[in-house]
Amino acid sequence: MKKIPVGILGATGMVGQNYIALLAGHPWFKVNYVAASPRSAGKRYGELTAGRWLLAKACDPSVSGLLVEDANDLSRAAAAAARGDLAFVFSALEMGKAEILALEDSYAAAGIPVVSNASANRWTDDVPMLIAEVNPSHTDIIPSQQAARGWKKGFIVVKPNCSIQSYMTPVWALLEAGYDVKRMVVTTMQAVSGAGYPGVASLDIVDNVVPYIGGEEEKSELEPLKILGSVENGRIRKADAPLISAHCNRVSVINGHTAAVSLEFGAKKAGIEEVKRIWSEFSALPQQLKLPMAPEQPIIVRDEANRPQPNKDRDADKGMAVSVGRLRACPVFDLRFVGLSHNTVRGAAGGGILNAELLKAKGYLG
Amino acid sequence: MKKIPVGILGATGMVGQNYIALLAGHPWFKVNYVAASPRSAGKRYGELTAGRWLLAKACDPSVSGLLVEDANDLSRAAAAAARGDLAFVFSALEMGKAEILALEDSYAAAGIPVVSNASANRWTDDVPMLIAEVNPSHTDIIPSQQAARGWKKGFIVVKPNCSIQSYMTPVWALLEAGYDVKRMVVTTMQAVSGAGYPGVASLDIVDNVVPYIGGEEEKSELEPLKILGSVENGRIRKADAPLISAHCNRVSVINGHTAAVSLEFGAKKAGIEEVKRIWSEFSALPQQLKLPMAPEQPIIVRDEANRPQPNKDRDADKGMAVSVGRLRACPVFDLRFVGLSHNTVRGAAGGGILNAELLKAKGYLG
Amino acid sequence: MKKIPVGILGATGMVGQNYIALLAGHPWFKVNYVAASPRSAGKRYGELTAGRWLLAKACDPSVSGLLVEDANDLSRAAAAAARGDLAFVFSALEMGKAEILALEDSYAAAGIPVVSNASANRWTDDVPMLIAEVNPSHTDIIPSQQAARGWKKGFIVVKPNCSIQSYMTPVWALLEAGYDVKRMVVTTMQAVSGAGYPGVASLDIVDNVVPYIGGEEEKSELEPLKILGSVENGRIRKADAPLISAHCNRVSVINGHTAAVSLEFGAKKAGIEEVKRIWSEFSALPQQLKLPMAPEQPIIVRDEANRPQPNKDRDADKGMAVSVGRLRACPVFDLRFVGLSHNTVRGAAGGGILNAELLKAKGYLG
Amino acid sequence: MKKIPVGILGATGMVGQNYIALLAGHPWFKVNYVAASPRSAGKRYGELTAGRWLLAKACDPSVSGLLVEDANDLSRAAAAAARGDLAFVFSALEMGKAEILALEDSYAAAGIPVVSNASANRWTDDVPMLIAEVNPSHTDIIPSQQAARGWKKGFIVVKPNCSIQSYMTPVWALLEAGYDVKRMVVTTMQAVSGAGYPGVASLDIVDNVVPYIGGEEEKSELEPLKILGSVENGRIRKADAPLISAHCNRVSVINGHTAAVSLEFGAKKAGIEEVKRIWSEFSALPQQLKLPMAPEQPIIVRDEANRPQPNKDRDADKGMAVSVGRLRACPVFDLRFVGLSHNTVRGAAGGGILNAELLKAKGYLG
């Protein structure tokens, strides 16, 4: 099988670098087009990132040699697409919301699908916000999206914020098993890589906790409702529950967001053993389709008293599995647990790649 | 005024060292007797702790020269008391529960009051568990305690666990102002010094969070109920509310426990401005008595979006004030906030000293 | 004594904040004038720094209320000086070298002495680079500096880089005692606060060492030669020795630069006990003048095997003492030791204040 | 090829766990025998290490099921060897020196070769201390060792301390290329994992540097001389040079020891480009033999100004390559550079495995 040529918008930033690292050796996709700000354009990707490559894994040599394009210059992307050198783009753009909205739109309008990591389009109501194991059917809205905008081949899908990944799949598994989750109090302890680079100043995090991340609590409370929503008349109608209170904190961890969760069921309550069974056995469309980036087991239940922990569990199953532990009764609600996921893999580039694999498997990427 | 000669049981451990550091220059008390394990006995305190002194502040030279006593050898303490060289002891013992119970009892029986930092006697129902600003009246139980045991001068008081200090005083201020707090979900992010020395291994905490501290959640949920309880027939009858769910985590912070709290009021609900007013104006007996270790303002309200933070707020008012911030509405309950207190000062040695000052002011220390 | 009104240029940055914190309650100086970039001008200092105050110690309330001036607007400073409201300025400017040179010159030309923390003027050959205990006589060059430029009251003095403070005073003490130091290999492990704010990204320093700090090794090797130089014909002629090889590293420490030093004596060699004696007894002009910011003992010798350490020794004597330890024979050279000093106190604002105190005592500040 | 059954002595400790993790899927060796202290004996390895497994990579399931043996009970090991279930052991024993000497001897005497990570036998003069790329010919001493002790099949080899790995191979490459290295000043910044578990207390390392590691400087200075020594009359005669001064520091890094090195050549001096060429082209016996654990390129030269760094370079080539950078002239000696290697892989278990592979390839393991 010839690999599908893909592009990265915002290729030099931290999320862009993660896309390139994770796509090295990907069985379906090959990074063929890298775009960044105008001042980066025209340089070799490898030269541009030498001395500011942020990852332990070295840059894929086949990408190092690519010339960086200006992400704003759509004509270059359109020409590449016309030549068959660019099938779709991952958007890791770091700009103002209005600029991202305009730019992602223009790529889609030019017939280049956009699988976005940016938050700009998350609340566009005909843009699906996908966690491949949770709401894969939301891709059904793509034809309506295209029709409404007069797009033929292009479209936009987004992924949600990294902060919700550690509890969203576990909660979905319970909902799918027939247990309503009415209310949740969630306290996150988030890694510094979630803020990009340079991101969090070391003076703010060595020997410290910052109990605030701008905009993060709102995203953590509201995005789950769209993900759990239903497709109605070409729009996603957001769900009413669960009601979530999120407390978001930054801690001195490089990678891996941890969440301490108390949750309240509706009338039908699951016991601890039942929840463990549901989570251990949970499997979804990405697993059935054997998508390359899909974890074999989306939720890994840890039985040790002191797990999951970022430095031991974040890399579970390529960094794509959510690890849960400390499942126990809650004196205030019904149950409580700790969830953990890798924020730059599951919560960013890896989640985006899995979304693209899902779209490919469903035939949306040609 | 001649200073009152005090002793430290467990003087070489981390809490013991903190007592010595905080008592340097104390206007009422002077460390005159230091006791530790039998193998430490007979050595100079300064020699014993050279190379394993854990604090930035150097050891008080007047204590360095003291000979260390065997904490198990009561005859030495009794002799010192008889000579007028030992009025009471701070217990920072690190042993098994049964041993601490026996040892603290024996000091009290010998006429030497014990102001304890250890957890062994926290649930002894005629031993008051004091936060000087919250339940100073619980000292009223001391005569019954003495009568029941046939003790004349000796008695035991304890302080609660360090993990509750960051939310207990704020909650008490609300209760005192007439607002019932029915339920709380509390997630703590606790400093490594709370585990003593050597305590938490660096391999467990650099680039990591440990979402578990043995026994800590139970203490965090139950101790508030005793502190808020009432004295009835020579016993403390624990309160029924608030119902607390505690999630206790260890993070990479040296000093300062942070708590993210969601709380639900009873029928009468306080708004945000009202709560800020209550907290800012809160003052209690230690403030009225102008006890030396008492913070001028027990609760400091921070208005910045990203405060309190351990490395900026833990030392507020000698490390004795609780800093609160991020007060905002809670989608699930009524309000939420972040509380922070210094765990080895307010939560350990400083809190113990304040308890002793309260006892002195009330006439219990002769 | 009426306090001398001083100004801070670059008052909102990290070094500026440190000046304000350290000058709170200073017996001689009072911060009366704060200047920063044009976009900060006209706002209250307290409002401007709320939410970005970097220190644990709160901002001096008397400074919070000051209106921030535009540091480039010399007319405002000159008017304040004319009114008697500004006697001299501490420069903590963060700009390009050419701009700082021009701006510091213009203040001095306007009759306002500049005690600078910036590096721009360090190699101006009639500007003394002062460590108050090491080369206080270099202030003798000030009249020549004024004459050469036609300045009456104004002048410029600078302090050296923070990286050299942990070994410069110990080496000077040896030189003064008659022991030539010919060669040194110095490896520094420097705190993140040395890079200002936001400075070092947390992604670069949590679980990491960065073995490079731009320009730092050159400063660490060359600045000692000017400090040890002699005043000749209105110029400072730099010394020829010691020859220094500096390896500068950034480590995960908030405050406190540590240096591991191997040194080679000339023909006359001091033994370990002799060096300890020299260091312990070292005292200099700031101590004789009892300058307020001067440490009682400029060099503190630690005998424990594992000291000095940043988190235990950086605050020694108000953060102004240098702590040394691990003095032992060197298999390659003669001796080796570890030196440690507080980089934002001794190495920045505290050192600047001590220089100003020295200048005041010598009559240069009116 | 049937895999060779190997044992791990000290299997539950940190180094033991690393052996098990690194040997999972090894093409030649299979862990078949795990031994630890008497109190661990008789339990399943997986049960024993649940909750105290220290690595991100999960324990090999085939090892989890093994029954743990008492390392002191040689009869069990001998029986396993007799059955063909144990060909040799990796020693990761954590005991006193005398006990390790006795125990390693007893295994070798029983015909079970010992590839040791412990320091006890490093200075036994007929025991080779191997870095497979540096002194593979030292294995020639094994027959003399066996003859002297009357051992037939058993023997002992050791590996050197982890602290020297980051500079030893680079220095060897220069020596081999004909450039004598006369003197070196080395300052190490070492990871906490080097101290094992629990090892370094978090209170000692968060926001801190500990400029002392007991015994480490002596090892760092002397072990290179044995490694560079010559085999003479069944003894290893240590080399006379280079003369090394080592300053060993503990920093807040999980894995990866960094060394800042200044070195002086003899009469023949290599320039920077020549050194880069030598290092880049360096290859040794493990590479020629294509040993499974051997890095393709033993020394990786980084050209970026700020590399190598622990969190980006420690895992280079399975954690087995040494990364060097910042090669530049030294004002005091000739050259200086920064070297970095993974202390628990290259410097411990990985180095031990490579030694065993070398021994196997040379026919010493049957």
A163-341 classified as CATH 3.30.360.10: yes
What secondary structure does DSSP assign to B4-60, as a single string? Answer: EEEEEETTTSHHHHHHHHHHTT-SSEEEEEEEE-GGGTTSBHHHHHTT----SSPPP
Averaged pLDDT of chain B: 97
Rounded CA-CA distance C361/C341 in Å is 25
Q: Which of C312, C164, C305 is nearest to C228 (CA)?
A: C164
Strands of chain C, DSSP E: 4-9, 29-36, 68-70, 88-91, 114-116, 156-158, 181-190, 230-232, 235-237, 243-250, 257-265, 299-301, 322-329, 335-341
Residue A306 reports pLDDT greater than 80: yes
Dist CA C6 CA C88 (whole Å): 5
* Span B302-330, average pLDDT: 97
Q: How far is D332 from chain A (nearest CA, A)?
A: 28
B215 touches chain D (CB under 8 A): no
Tell me what the mean pLDDT of segment A144-165 comes to.
97
Question: Is the Cβ of B210 closer than 8 Å to some Cβ of chain D?
Answer: no
Cross-strand bridge partners of residue C337: C261
Average pLDDT over residues C254-282: 98
Tell me the chain C residues in contact with residue A197 when contact means C-beta distances shorter than 8 Å. Answer: 201, 203
Exposed / middle / buried, residue B120 (Cβ in 10 Å: 0-12, 13-18, 19+): buried
From the candidates A26, A138, A162, A342, which is the catalytic residue?
A162
Whether D51 has a pLDDT exceeding 90, the answer reads no
User: Cα-flanking dihedrals φ and ψ of residue D288, to 5°?
Assistant: -65, -35
Please check whether residue B64 is in contact with residue B98, taking contact to mean a CB–CB distance below 8 angstroms. Answer: no
Tokens, residue B71: 């904490």
Inform me whether the C-beta atom of residue C210 falls under 8 Å from chain A C-beta atoms: no
Q: Spelled out in words, what is the top-level CATH class assigned to the domain B162-342?
A: alpha beta
**Chain B residues lying within 8 Å of C53, measured CB to CB:** 312
CB C300 within 8 A of CB C221: no
**pLDDT more than 90, % of chain A:** 97
Q: How far apart are CA D205 and CA C189, in angstroms?
A: 13
pLDDT band at D353 (very low <50, low <70, confident <90, very high): very high
Cα–Cα distance, A18 to A316 (Å, whole number): 17
* Contact state of D187 with C260 under an 8 Å Cβ cutoff: yes
What would the DSSP string read from start to end of B137-183?
GGGGGHHHHHHHHT-SS--EEE---GGGHHHHHHHHHHHHTT--EEE
Q: In what order do the strands lie in the sheet with B88-91?
A: B68-70, B29-36, B4-9, B88-91, B114-116, B156-158
Residue D51 contacts A where some CB pair is shorter than 8 Å: yes
Alpha carbon of C181 to those of B124, C241, C323: distances in Å?
66, 7, 19
Q: What is the tens place of the pLDDT at every residue in A57-87?
A: 889 999 999 999 999 999 999 999 999 999 9
Is A162 annotated as catalytic?
A: yes
Of B189, B253, B332, the CB nearest to A185: B332
- The band of B39, judged by pLDDT with boundaries at 50, 70 and 90, is very high
pLDDT above 70 covers a percentage of chain C that reads: 100
What would the mean pLDDT of B32-57 be, rounded to a whole number?
94
Q: Which candidate from B197, B206, B254 shows the least CB-CB separation from D254?
A: B206
**Residue B182 touches partner A, C-beta closer than 8 Å:** no
**Residues on chain C touching D336 (C-beta within 8 angstroms):** 245, 247
User: Does a cis peptide bond (omega within 30 degrees of 0) precede residue A298?
Assistant: no
Q: Among D51, D55, D306, whose Cβ lies nearest the Cβ of A51?
A: D306
Alpha-carbon gap, residue B178 to C50, rounded angstroms: 33
Question: Among residues A201, A195, A198, which one has the least CA distance to residue A215?
Answer: A195
- Report CA Rg, chain C: 20
Scanning every residue of chain B, which has its alpha carbon at the shortest distance from the alpha carbon of A330? B245
CATH 3.30.360.10 segments of chain C? 163-342
Chains contacting D (3 or more CB pairs within 8 Å): A, B, C
Domain with CATH 3.40.50.720 in chain D: 4-161+349-361
- Rounded to 10°, the helix A216-227/A165-176 angle is 30
Say what the pLDDT of residue C131 is. Answer: 98
Distance CA D164, CA A1 (A): 48
**Residue of A185, A243, A309 to mutate when probing chain B, most B C-beta within 10 A:** A185
CB C256 within 8 A of CB C314: yes
Nearest to A189 among B189, B311, B325 (CB): B189
Using one digit for the tens of pLDDT, what is the confidence trace for C36-95? Answer: 999 999 999 999 998 889 998 889 999 999 999 999 999 999 999 999 999 999 999 999
> Mean of the pLDDT values across residues D185-192?
98
Say how far apart CA B34 and CA B77 lie, in whole Å: 10
Is B211 at the interface with chain D, CB within 8 A? no
pLDDT tens string D300-329 = 999 999 999 999 999 999 999 999 999 999
pTM score over 0.90: yes
* Three-state SS sequence of chain D: CCCEEEEEECCCCHHHHHHHHHHCCCCCEEEEEEEECHHHCCCEHHHHHCCCCCCCCCCCHHHHCCEEEECCCHHHHHHHHHCCCCCEEEECCCCCHHHHHHHHHHHHHCCCCEEECCCCCCCCCCCCECCCCCCHHHHHHHHHHHHHHCCCCCCEEECCCHHHHHHHHHHHHHHHCCCCEEEEEEEEEECHHHHCCCCCEHHHHCCCCECCCCCHHHHHHHHHHHHCCEEECCEEECCCCCEEEEEEEECCCCCCEEEEEEEEECCCCCCHHHHHHHHHHCCCHHHHCCCCCCCCCCEEECCCCCCCCHHHHCCHHHHCCEEEEEEEECCCCCEEEEEEECCCHHHHHHHHHHHHHHHHHCCCCC
Catalytic residue (one of D138, D162, D248, D342): D162
With 90 as the cut, is the pLDDT of residue C339 above it? yes
Residues in chain C with CB shorter than 8 Å from the CB of B17 are: none
**DSSP H or E run through C80:** helix C74-82
* pLDDT value at residue D227: 98
- pLDDT score for A287: 98
Annotate A135-155 with b (16+ C-beta within 10 A) or e (fewer). Answer: bbebbebbeebbeeeebebbb
Helix axis angle, C272-281 relative to C165-176, nearest 10°?
100
The single residue of B26, B138, B162, B342 carrying the catalytic annotation is: B162
Tokens of A55: 């990852």
Residue D26 annotated to the active site = no
Interchain CB contact of B312 with C (< 8 Å) = yes
Rounded mean pLDDT of A263-291? 98
- Residues paired with A337 in a beta bridge: A261
Contact list, C202 vs chain A (CB under 8 Å): 192, 199-202, 204-206, 252
- pLDDT at site D249: 98
Closest to D277 (Cα-Cα) out of D352, D355, D151, D177: D177
Please tell me the predicted confidence (pLDDT) of residue C93: 95
From the centroid of its chain, how far is CA D14?
14
Angle, helix C165-176 to helix C216-227, in steps of 10 degrees: 30
pLDDT at C366: 75
Chain D CB contacts of A55 below 8 Å: 312
Q: Looking at chain D, which residue has its C-alpha nearest residue C332?
A: D245
- Whether the CB of D106 is below 8 Å from some CB of chain C: the reply is no
Average pLDDT over residues A43-53: 92
Instruction: Say whether C331 and D262 touch across the interface (CB within 8 A).
Output: no
Is C49 touching B (CB cutoff 8 A)? no
Mutate to test the interface with D, among A297, A304, A314, A323 (most CBs of D within 10 A): A304
Distance to chain C for B190, nearest Cα, Å: 18
D81 touches chain C (CB under 8 A): no
In our burial notation (b when 16+ CB lie closer than 10 A, e otherwise), range D187-217 reads bbbbbbbbbbbbbbbbbbbbbbbbbbbeebb
CA distances from B41 to B19, B70, B174, D55 (A): 19, 5, 47, 41
Name the E strands within chain B: 4-9, 29-36, 68-70, 88-91, 114-116, 156-158, 181-190, 230-232, 235-237, 243-250, 257-265, 299-301, 322-329, 335-341
Helix (H, G, I), strand (E, B) or coil at B185: strand
Top-level CATH class of C163-342?
alpha beta
Q: What is the ipTM of this complex?
A: 0.96
Sequence ranges of chain A with CATH classification 3.30.360.10 = 163-341
Does residue C315 belong to the interface with chain B, where contact is any CB pair within 8 Å? yes
Residue type, D217: E
CATH, domain range B4-161+349-361: 3.40.50.720
Confidence of residue B154 (pLDDT cuts 50, 70, 90): very high
Residue D303, classified by CB atoms within 10 Å of its CB into exposed (0-12), middle (13-18) or buried (19+), is exposed
Q: In the predicted model, what is the mean pLDDT of residues C337-350?
A: 98
Measure the CA–CA gap between A30 and A353, rounded to whole angstroms.
Answer: 12
Task: Give the 3-state secondary structure of residue B290.
Answer: coil
Across the interface, do A202 and C199 touch by the CB < 8 Å criterion? Answer: yes
Bridge-based pairing state of the strands A257-265 and A243-250: unpaired
For residue A1, the model assigns a pLDDT of: 73
Rounded to whole angstroms, the Cα distance separating D35 from A159 reads 48
pLDDT tens digits for D273-296? 999 999 999 999 999 999 999 999
Quote the Cα angle for A357-A358-A363, to 5°: 95
Average pLDDT, chain C: 97
pLDDT range class, residue D1, cuts 50, 70, 90 = confident
| Contact predicate A308/A240, CB 8 Å | no
Instruction: Please check the confidence at residue B51 and state whether its pLDDT lies above 90.
Output: no
Question: What is the pLDDT, as a whole number, of residue C154?
Answer: 98
Q: Name the pairing type of β-strands D230-232 and D235-237.
A: antiparallel
